[in-house]
Amino acid sequence: MNKFFLTVVIAAAHLIIFSVASASEILCTLGTSATSTGCVAVENNFVAFTPSAAPVAGTYSAVQSVALSAASASSIHYTQDGTAPTCSSGSVYSAPISVKKTQMIKAIACYPQNTESAISSFEYLLSIFDAGSENATLSTASAGAASFPNQTTSLRLGNATVLDISSSVSTTSAGQIVIGGNTKTLASFTSGNLSAVNLSAPVMVGGQSMSVEKAVAIQSGVSGEPMLLSNQDFSSANVSIPDGATVLAPSGWNGTIAPPRAAARSGAAPTGFSLGGTIIEVGSETETLLFDQPVSIILSGVVGAVGYKSASSTVWVQIANQCAGSYDAPSAPVFPGECYISDGTDTKIHTYHFTSFAGLDAESANAPANPGGNGPVGGAGVALVGDINGDARVDILDFNLLFAAWGAGQSGPFYSSIDLNRDGAIDVLDFNMLMANWK
């Protein structure tokens, strides 16, 4: 057998061995060029297969663990920032890659004697952005606007992480500010639900004033879909922000937004109430943040009265305005205010501001005195919640008084003593409080 024939036979056998190593790979023949089918030309008797990924690239609703492989490769190098890896750059693959947000993985397979494959690209589109262990930084979509990654509508943070949009924040100049590439005049500000609102003057929230000096719009990864903000370390509250909502902030804001977190039991509760078991803060510990359209905060397991406290305040304010509309689609309150609505299990606060929020418990003693002439007891105080007629019992007589005023507002009969939770309406919430002390 001559040397030429022997060399060809050995080379052919080498190719067959490589094809058997991975039955799903394509067998490349001598002299082929790099193609999208997964092969490049044979160099130094090596066939370089492009990397494959599992699960395959696509759209997912949860974090993915992506495994890379390439038949008989010495190593695989990859990137997650969209840049092209080489066999001397990028990360060396050693374990499945945790994909926690929408991203592009690019990979190259490396073989002996400087042989390398073509680059493979795998795009994973996630509806969730998992940032429980590191801050979530959004890219700038345009001047004064930040954008969630493509297809992302949910951001999961932790107690120690925040949403960082500081690089996209605009500041005011000569009474104007740029939001989403558009210049807005503060003295006649029109954006979202606001029309010709004067933001050049201080805005009052919870008895505290704030001046708008910074702004940034936040865009969802799916047009028209709201953005859900949650905390993996705190399940008692979550937040929904409309697509394109603009944050309006004072000069001291650092451009980050914290998820709902448990807050300290501090500050003076509204008269007749004490702070309940759920107390949260969201947005900023030191600054009150406004929005150009209402955001929704859901307090899980909270029913009855709720309140809020501005960042610089020590006094809690009861949210007395009940939202019109439905629980799933509450009507907007008047800027910069808030309203609440309950489905009997949870309470949704529909609000133009991020501050601290809490459930409020009606006090059973030292309740506010009933104004004379407007209730059955004259000036007597109500010592027991539900004891409307002041006879130290909660019974059918109180029940009858409650239903005599059912549906009344502040000007209705018996209002002061019958509106047990002080929310401005006599309804099923007052009935539930009465029944809690029924004898």
> DSSP for 95-122?
S-EEE-SSEEEEEEEEETTTEE-PPEEE
Measured CA to CA, the distance from residue 86 to residue 221 in angstroms comes to 31
Identify whether the C-beta of residue 290 lies closer than 8 Å to the C-beta of residue 338. Answer: no
Cβ neighbours for 376, distance < 8 A, ≥ 6 positions apart: 388, 389, 390, 401, 414, 417
Residue that wins the pLDDT comparison between 248 and 364? 248
* Confidence check: pLDDT of 271 > 80: yes
Do both 189 and 273 map to the same domain?
Answer: yes
pLDDT score of 46? 65
The three-state secondary structure class of 186 is helix
Residue that wins the pLDDT comparison between 15 and 134? 134
Task: Give the domain-ending residue among 101, 126, 151.
Answer: 126
379 part of a folded domain: no
- 417: confidence class by pLDDT, cuts 50, 70, 90: low
10 part of a folded domain: no
| Mean pLDDT, range 279-287, rounded to an integer | 95
Do both 200 and 302 map to the same domain?
Answer: yes
Do both 279 and 423 map to the same domain?
Answer: no
| DSSP 8-state symbol, 143 | T
pLDDT score of 11? 40
* Confidence check: pLDDT of 102 > 90: yes
Task: Give the domain-ending residue among 96, 126, 156.
Answer: 126
Q: Domain tally for the chain? A: 3
Do both 139 and 205 map to the same domain?
Answer: yes
**Preceding peptide of 85 cis, ω within 30°:** no
- 390: confidence class by pLDDT, cuts 50, 70, 90: low
Q: What digits encode the pLDDT tens for the residues 123-133? A: 999 999 999 99
Residue range of the domain that includes 105: 52-126
* Confidence check: pLDDT of 21 > 50: no
31 part of a folded domain: no
Question: What are the C-alpha distances in Å from 150 to residues 61, 138, 154, 158, 213?
Answer: 13, 11, 11, 22, 29
Averaged confidence pLDDT in the chain: 85
Do both 63 and 208 map to the same domain?
Answer: no
Q: What percent of the chain is modeled with pLDDT above 90?
A: 69
- 426: confidence class by pLDDT, cuts 50, 70, 90: confident
135 part of a folded domain: yes
Q: What digits encode the pLDDT tens for the residues 26-68? A: 444 444 444 444 555 455 566 789 999 999 999 999 999 999 9
Measured CA to CA, the distance from residue 113 to residue 198 in angstroms comes to 70
| Mean pLDDT, range 328-345, rounded to an integer | 96
> In the sheet where 306-309 sits, what is the strand order?
136-137, 163-164, 256-262, 273-283, 356-362, 306-309, 317-318
pLDDT score of 353? 98
371 part of a folded domain: no
Q: How many CB atoms lie within 10 A of CB 380?
A: 15
Q: What digits encode the pLDDT tens for the residues 353-379? A: 999 999 999 987 544 433 322 233 333
Residue that wins the pLDDT comparison between 435 and 268? 268
| Block residue for tokens 């008797």 | 45
pLDDT score of 429? 80
* Confidence check: pLDDT of 328 > 60: yes
196 part of a folded domain: yes
Model confidence pTM above 0.75: no
Structure tokens at 266: 């501090």
pLDDT score of 386? 77
* Confidence check: pLDDT of 438 > 70: yes
Do both 135 and 119 map to the same domain?
Answer: no
Do both 402 and 355 map to the same domain?
Answer: no
388 part of a folded domain: no
pLDDT score of 6? 38
Structure tokens at 14: 């080498």
Task: Give the domain-ending residue among 102, 126, 150.
Answer: 126
- 177: confidence class by pLDDT, cuts 50, 70, 90: very high
- Kindly report which listed range (16-20, 63-67, 186-190) carries the lowest average pLDDT score: 16-20
Structure tokens at 317: 């304010």
Do both 183 and 297 map to the same domain?
Answer: yes
Residue that wins the pLDDT comparison between 240 and 364? 240
Do both 290 and 432 map to the same domain?
Answer: no
pLDDT score of 32? 44
12 part of a folded domain: no
| Mean pLDDT, range 307-320, rounded to an integer | 94
Do both 267 and 119 map to the same domain?
Answer: no
Do both 102 and 198 map to the same domain?
Answer: no
Do both 56 and 180 map to the same domain?
Answer: no
pLDDT score of 363? 86
